[in-house]
């Protein structure tokens, strides 16, 4: 039954075989908001005619077509692995957990974004008619992303999409969703560790000798930025861009809010030393002793901001920031995301 409101909206996506060649979406995700929309570039002529003081409609047109916007999704126990392909260029696959049958694990580390793109479709309900109108976008790549863990809140992810074009003629895809899919929340953050030594064997990074963060941390965010040349318009392309190519360093930064504890963050900041961070979320049992898992390791970070400010009678807090670096040791990746779920593919 149609409501004519956002309750009927839908968001789906699918990897493209050829960058910019639109495909029919077949994976659907819960989402909180999507402002992805067409962003054409108009150009105007200024040809003069005697007696005309307004610009002529015959001298205005669309020179470039593209689309952009932000999408916010709840981070779910199933389906979240797909996003890392487009967030960090991961080539991760899913393999059954040793000794299991229905639990699969994925390891995601940074890779190339070249040749990786997706089509996505947002179903936008029309209030007057109740009809969900399909808006399909091709040649999509992710410009930036934010993943946030916060006290007394659900875990959320927001990302910005850059697309080649918007299509309103393609049919609305029939949405279907994973059953029993749950959203991660702050209570499921079962470990947050700092320090230690990272090592990588057979493509899997682990952290040894780390210690639980002793400070009370109320929020932690990771933010990624993909430097993409997304203005590759040229003659003969009919106003449509070519593939967005990486043209600068990838950046991953972070922020946190914590009660002041000199043993965590502040000493690393003042001394300029590197440290490692690991955050682990543990969910329901999948089978035997294997649970849903979302685990992030960053082997080398610099705490770039850790102000200790007394702002009144309340607890002294630190609003800090950090930057993720390549360990430059020929072994460990800048970031690893480990997921265990029932997904047989990312």
What value does the mean pLDDT take over residues 37-53? 95
Q: What is the DSSP letter of 20?
A: T
pTM over 0.85: yes
Element (H, E) at 270: helix 267-271
Scanning 9-155, the segments in alpha helix (DSSP H) are 81-88
Strand, helix or coil at 82?
Answer: helix
Backbone dihedral region for residue 190 (phi beyond 0: left; psi -120 to 50: alpha; all else: beta): alpha
- Please provide the distance, in angstroms rounded to a whole number, between the alpha carbons at the two ends of the chain: 32
What's the chain's Rg over C-alpha atoms? 23
Mean pLDDT (the chain) is 97
Strand, helix or coil at 6?
Answer: helix
Write the pLDDT tens digit of every residue in 175-234. Answer: 999 999 999 999 999 999 999 999 999 999 999 999 999 999 999 999 999 999 999 999
Closest to 219 (Cα-Cα) out of 289, 153, 128: 153
pLDDT (0 to 100) of residue 2: 87
pLDDT (0 to 100) of residue 1: 63
- Supply φ then ψ for residue 271, to 5 degrees: -90, -10
């Amino acid at each position: 039954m149609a409501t004519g409101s956002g309750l009927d909206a839908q968001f789906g996506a699918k990897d493209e075989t050829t960058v910019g060649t639109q495909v029919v979406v077949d994976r659907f995700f819960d989402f909180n908001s999507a402002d992805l929309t067409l962003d054409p570039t108009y150009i105007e002529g200024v040809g003069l005619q005697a007696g005309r003081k307004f610009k002529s409609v015959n001298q205005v047109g669309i020179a470039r077509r593209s689309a952009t916007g932000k999408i916010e999704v709840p981070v779910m126990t199933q389906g979240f692995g797909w996003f890392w392909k487009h967030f960090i260029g991961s080539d991760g696959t899913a393999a059954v957990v040793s000794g299991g049958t229905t639990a699969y694990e994925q390891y995601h580390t940074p890779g190339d974004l070249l040749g990786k793109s997706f089509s996505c479709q947002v179903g936008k309900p029309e209030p007057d008619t109740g009809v969900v109108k399909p808006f399909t976008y091709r040649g999509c790549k992710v410009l930036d992303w934010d993943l946030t863990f916060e006290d007394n809140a659900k875990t959320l992810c927001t990302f910005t999409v850059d697309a080649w074009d918007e299509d309103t003629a393609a049919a609305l895809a029939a949405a279907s969703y994973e059953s029993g899919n749950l959203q991660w929340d702050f209570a499921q953050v079962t470990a947050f560790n700092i320090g230690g030594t990272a090592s990588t064997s057979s493509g899997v990074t682990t952290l040894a000798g780390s210690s639980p963060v002793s400070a009370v941390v109320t929020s932690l965010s990771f933010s990624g930025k993909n430097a993409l040349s997304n203005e590759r318009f040229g003659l003969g392309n009919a106003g449509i861009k070519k593939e967005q190519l990486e043209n600068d360093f990838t950046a991953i930064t972070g922020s946190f809010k914590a009660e002041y504890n000199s043993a965590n963050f502040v000493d690393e900041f003042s001394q300029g030393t590197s440290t490692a961070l690991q955050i682990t979320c543990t969910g329901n049992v999948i089978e035997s002793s294997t649970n849903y898992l979302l685990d992030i390791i960053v082997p080398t970070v610099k705490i770039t901001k850790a102000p200790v400010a007394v702002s009144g009678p309340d607890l002294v807090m630190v609003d800090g920031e950090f930057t993720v670096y390549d360990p430059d040791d020929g072994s460990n990746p800048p970031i690893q995301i480990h997921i265990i779920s029932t997904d047989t593919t990312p």
